[in-house]
Structure 1
Amino acid sequence: MEVIFNQSEQHLVRLCKKGDAKAQYKLYKLYSKGMYNLAVRMTNNQSMAEDVLQDAFIKAFGEINKLKNEKAFGGWLRRIVANLCIDASRKKKLFLTDMESLNESELEESVEVDDTVEPEQIHALIKKLPDGAREILVLRALEGYKHAEIGEQLGISESTAKTQFFRAKQLLAKMINELNDEERSGKNITGEAIKA
């Protein structure tokens, strides 16, 4: 979710640096929905996402004077949300497993995903991924983080981040294929029942 930053938003950030509560509320209204969606995608838990969102804005407004470039508020806030999601997952002992043993040739294999599946179905399947796989998939595919950045945020190596992302895509593709198989067999059963 990218919010186009304009002069009035830059002015709001400046006011927030002076402790203006109305400006804080306006920035909150502007960014809360997108940041909540990121938190839900990363944690797969609405309650945890709400807590993360609240903590993120408290942290952002508490440390806003550290922000040098007022135009970078959205990206800075996104990083805070992502880091808090990761911390929340760690607190629940949802650690990533290290799969460095996967060789580079396996990583280069393409993962085929059926593009006829509706985005809502894909979103629902992403929610069903194991926590570590979901986090990396959201950070890389949906939020555009580089593998090195993901590795740094999660405390894993860049190659582990690549491996986890590859595994997450594989798992998602498998889930999509299973969904398609279920739909096809459901249609066949329905079709056969009509013929009979």
Structure 2
Amino acid sequence: MPANLDEHLPSILDGCLTGRRASQHELYKLYYGYGMSVAIRYVNDESEAISIVNDAFMKVYKSLKTFDRSQAYKPWFRRVVVNTAINQLKRQQKYQLETGMDETGDIADRENILSQINYRELVALVQSLSTAYRAVFNMYVIDGFPHDEIAKTLGISVSTSKSNLVRARRKLRELLREQLSINNA
């Protein structure tokens, strides 16, 4: 994004509020890439992510009047994209949520192996998780949602959210180890 974005964003948002197509297009161009980087973490392929981002922009244009201009735009936009992704996943009835149980699991064997794997490989590993695990992992680890909000958003219990996070981390560790053993072979 351009360095002078902070100067121009208020006028772009003003134009969007009045329905100016040029302003909507400008906002879309500025934040499309960021929206895609958020959406792709929640779905299996690029076409689904594009659909989510486009839906998110439609929601932004319709609800921009509710945006508190004293706050930063980017986090608000990210939240719209995340919620749009979750809603699309719900509509497609992709959730096959595992039974909730308060599983704490020991994560003491953490390794610093992320430096040995590139970003695309890591995204691919996260995308290989089940939809339920991937959604909870992204919402908690990447987007910083608390478990009670994840549970409410996904329609699951807090214990299921916690359990799915533990299981997602465990599965990612297994996948990372496999990936590293293949790369080092």
TM-score by length of 2: 0.84
- Contact preservation (8 Å) 1:136, 1:164: yes
Deviations 1:35-94 (A, max 9, x none): 012111111221111111111111110121122326443222212211121122122221
Give the drift of 1:98: 4.3
CA 1:49–1:115: 2 relative to 1, 3 Å? closer
**SS state of the match for residue 68, structure 1?**
coil
Q: Given the alignment, which residue of 99, 110, 113 partners 1:112?
A: 110
**SS state of the match for residue 63, structure 1?**
helix
CA 1:29–1:102: 2 relative to 1, 3 Å? same
Q: Report the more deviating stretch, 162-171 or 141-150.
A: 141-150
CA 1:169–1:151: 2 relative to 1, 3 Å? same
After TM superposition, the structure 1 = structure 2 runs for residues 22-101 of structure 1, keeping only pairs within 5 Å, are 22-69=22-69, 71-101=71-101
Give the drift of 1:176: 0.8
Give the drift of 1:100: 2.8
CA 1:131–1:103: 2 relative to 1, 3 Å? closer
Determine which structure has more spread, i.e. the larger CA radius of gyration. 1
CA distance in 2, matches of 1:100, 1:53: 31
**Matching residue's letter, 2:161:** A
Structure 1: 5+ residue stretches without partners: 187-196
Aligned residues, how many?
Answer: 181
When you count helix as a share of all residues, which structure comes out higher? 1
Give the drift of 1:22: 1.6
Deviations 1:78-135 (A, max 9, x none): 122111211221222211524432334x2x5335242343133222211211112112
After TM superposition, the structure 1 = structure 2 runs for residues 1-196 of structure 1, keeping only pairs within 5 Å, are 6-69=6-69, 71-104=71-104, 106=105, 109-110=107-108, 112-113=110-111, 114-120=113-119, 121-184=121-184, 186=185
Between the aligned residues of both structures, percent identity stands at: 24
Give the drift of 1:31: 0.8
CA 1:70–1:19: 2 relative to 1, 3 Å? farther
**Matching residue's letter, 1:77:** F
Provide runs of 4+ in structure 1 moved above 3 Å.
108-111
